[in-house]
Structure 1
Amino acid sequence: MHRRTRLALVLALIVLGGCGSAPDTSPSEGKEVPFWQAEFNGTAGSRPSDRFWNTETGNRDAEGWGNNELQYYTDDADNSALDGEGHLLISARPAPVGSELPCHTREFCPWTSARLTTEGKVALTRGRVEVRAKLPTGTGLLPAVWMLGNNGVDWPGQGEIDICEVVGGEPRTVYGTAHGPTYFNENGIGGSATLPADASRAFHVYTVDKQPHRVIWSVDGKPYFTLTPSKLPQPRDWVFEQDMHLLLNVAVGGDWPGPPDASTPSPATMTVDYVRLYGEGRA
């Protein structure tokens, strides 16, 4: 994971832009309504709406995304696009021969991938984020769904909540972690859950419930870790009472999880069915 860093529009936006902010308002007594959602309905090969999503690019200037990673993030449809069946695909794949994409740890990056964010466009203040996705597994892969704080402070003071990460050769383990001013990188605080099969085999709903002085991680509705200020090291600098934006990416190599090898799948694809935000926020 990167350690240095971050109801009026309806069917027209969904069809033309690839995802929508319009919540599901179909009648259902007692049904909670998201204040923003991305359902990724659109034609195959189209991009998610830039009204809500930014596509970050590069590697060398970002110092390997703070983790000496090997992927060059692009805005190419080969790396991020809709599949025409209601999903967003984020794919890591070997860089095209002769592409010469500048890398932090070597002359050229051997992989390409994508990193999408909602920074400056959509944020959760208080409430719940749900992401239904299949995450790629394999040696050297690090798919992640996460949040960064909007307080304008450099990382790690910015605050980071990792909603879900699946690391390299641990295909059935999902990690949820928080990072802040005095607890970051290997000192991040979190927990893990064990899936019934590899994370790439089936969709799961990955959830973070961000409430005042409490963050709860769940998979498929089952909580597995709760963080409160009392669990932080002194001075217990809790930085999560703020707007936080979303990030989706598939990283390759780096200090964590280590390098890919001949067994690493290509493409290695994160398939996102939906992203939904409940509670309070900005969209």
Structure 2
Amino acid sequence: MRIFNRVAAILTLALVLASCVGTGDPGTDTCTTTNRTAATCVPPPVAAASGKGWKLIFEENFDGTDYDHSKLTPCFDWNYGGCTSSFNSGRETYRPEQVRVGGGSAKLVAEPLNPPSPDPSCFQQVCTYKSGLLSTARADAHSDKYLFSFTYGYTEARVKFPAIAGFFMAFWMLPTNPKFEYRSEIDIVEALGGNPQNVYMTYAYDGRSNAYRVNNTSGDNGACPVRDYSQDWVRFGVDWEPDHIAWYINGVRCGEFTDARAIENGPMQLILNMTVDNDWERNEGSVLANQNQTATLDVDYLRVFQQH
């Protein structure tokens, strides 16, 4: 840990209190349930470019009894009025009531659906679970207006996910395209509940036909530690810039993609969700042993910063 003299500490604190402009020091999370403003939030764990600073452009802290519906929707991009069913052949259909806010966090709850709902999107064409999702997509796919999108910046979520085989959390980004043509995808984190030591971080490009992976195998998180991340709250982030995409866990850079020619240069949306027994989990043999089990993905905050 760095030791600063008193003058440097005062100057650093003044900068953070003024505008949450980052110095590159990851620090510790000082945003609490009673004091969660941009002025007291930890800045991105990477220094801004020379002559620039970080500016907070999106924030949801889940401090009340509901999330801000002008910022987030409980459905995926292709909601035509019935919200969204699984998009990876999982068991879940997404329902607005599965997003519950209280105690300073949002809870994305996956629980059995009774009675099950026939649906060609779900595993074996029937949804047996209902789960929660939050995104900055269009609240209605009949509209072209996204609730929030951005081009380049640092985005971060602080979450606590369940270490139960079959429950799978994902925090990711897709281009804003009303025709559902997603030429790229940034997976900030994908975590299988049956293997909470591994955090998969991926960038898919060229029509999502090619991919850069920070980690490919079990026991590998790039430059980040391999440990059980489900044991406590964890900060997952990505710095997406014109010349690189870098992934972070708790302020530590895990890996970086640097082929500027392949980096997405258009606006993107945010998605955070928990699936149940999706196709990846089935391939890994990481499925629910108890089909009556309930689990929750807790979300402390979502934030996006840009350099100005």
Where on the TM-score scale, by shorter chain, does this alignment land: which range?
0.7 to 0.9
Is 1:90 equivalent to 2:112 in the alignment? no
**Alignment partner, residue 223 of structure 1:** 253
Query: For the structure 1 residues 99 and 173, does the alpha-carbon distance in structure 2 shift closer, same or farther, using more than 3 Å as the test?
Result: same
Match of 1:138, SS?
A: coil
Matched-pair identity in % = 24
What's the C-alpha RMSD, in Å, of the aligned pairs? 3.2
- Structure 1 letter corresponding to 2:204: H
- Structure 2 letter corresponding to 1:144: A
Is 1:55 equivalent to 2:78 in the alignment? no
**Alignment partner, residue 179 of structure 1:** 204
Q: How does 1:48-197 map to 2 (within 5 A)?
A: 48-56=67-75, 64-65=86-87, 67-76=88-97, 79-83=98-102, 85-96=103-114, 98-104=115-121, 105-119=123-137, 120-152=146-178, 154-157=180-183, 159-184=184-209, 188-192=211-215, 193=221, 195=225, 197=227
Distance 2:302 2:134 in 1: 13
**Alignment partner, residue 267 of structure 2:** 243
**Higher relative contact order, structure no. (Cα contacts within 8 Å, ≥ 6 residues apart):** 1
For the Cα contact (< 8 Å) 1:173–1:195, is it kept in 2? no
Gaps of 5+ in 2: 1-35, 48-52, 138-145, 216-220
- Structure 2 letter corresponding to 1:250: M
Query: For the structure 1 residues 245 and 183, does the alpha-carbon distance in structure 2 shift closer, same or farther, using more than 3 Å as the test?
Result: closer
CA distances 1:29-69 after superposition (whole Å, capped 9, x unpaired): x99541221111103xxx312101112178x997841x211
Q: TM-score, normalised by structure 1?
A: 0.74
Q: What count of residue pairs does the alignment treat as equivalent? A: 242
- Structure 1 letter corresponding to 2:170: A
- Structure 1 letter corresponding to 2:203: A
**Alignment partner, residue 62 of structure 2:** 40
Task: Point out the structure with max Rg over C-alpha.
Answer: 2
- Structure 1 letter corresponding to 2:127: C
For the Cα contact (< 8 Å) 1:146–1:161, is it kept in 2? yes
Distance 1:180 1:27 in 2: 32
- C-alpha displacement of 1:164: 0.8
Distance 1:188 1:95 in 2: 35
Runs of at least 4 residues off by over 6 Å: 60-63
Match among 190, 198, 201 for residue 231 of structure 2? 201
**Alignment partner, residue 8 of structure 1:** none
- Structure 2 letter corresponding to 1:160: E
Q: How does 1:23-38 map to 2 (within 5 A)?
A: 24-25=38-39, 32-38=54-60
Gaps of 5+ in 1: 1-21, 231-235
**Alignment partner, residue 218 of structure 2:** none
Match of 1:54, SS?
A: coil
Query: For the structure 1 residues 179 and 134, does the alpha-carbon distance in structure 2 shift closer, same or farther, using more than 3 Å as the test?
Result: same
**Bigger proportion of residues as helix:** 2
For the Cα contact (< 8 Å) 1:72–1:103, is it kept in 2? no
Match of 1:52, SS?
A: coil
- C-alpha displacement of 1:94: 1.3
Query: For the structure 1 residues 152 and 229, does the alpha-carbon distance in structure 2 shift closer, same or farther, using more than 3 Å as the test?
Result: farther
- Structure 1 letter corresponding to 2:73: N
- C-alpha displacement of 1:138: 2.0
- C-alpha displacement of 1:267: 2.1
For the Cα contact (< 8 Å) 1:156–1:179, is it kept in 2? no
Query: For the structure 1 residues 247 and 38, does the alpha-carbon distance in structure 2 shift closer, same or farther, using more than 3 Å as the test?
Result: same
Q: TM-score, normalised by structure 2?
A: 0.69
For the Cα contact (< 8 Å) 1:140–1:264, is it kept in 2? no
For the Cα contact (< 8 Å) 2:154–2:239, is it kept in 1? yes
For the Cα contact (< 8 Å) 2:277–2:288, is it kept in 1? no
Is 1:252 equivalent to 2:273 in the alignment? no
Distance 1:42 1:129 in 2: 22
- C-alpha displacement of 1:195: 5.0
Distance 2:271 2:119 in 1: 23
Match of 2:163, SS?
A: coil
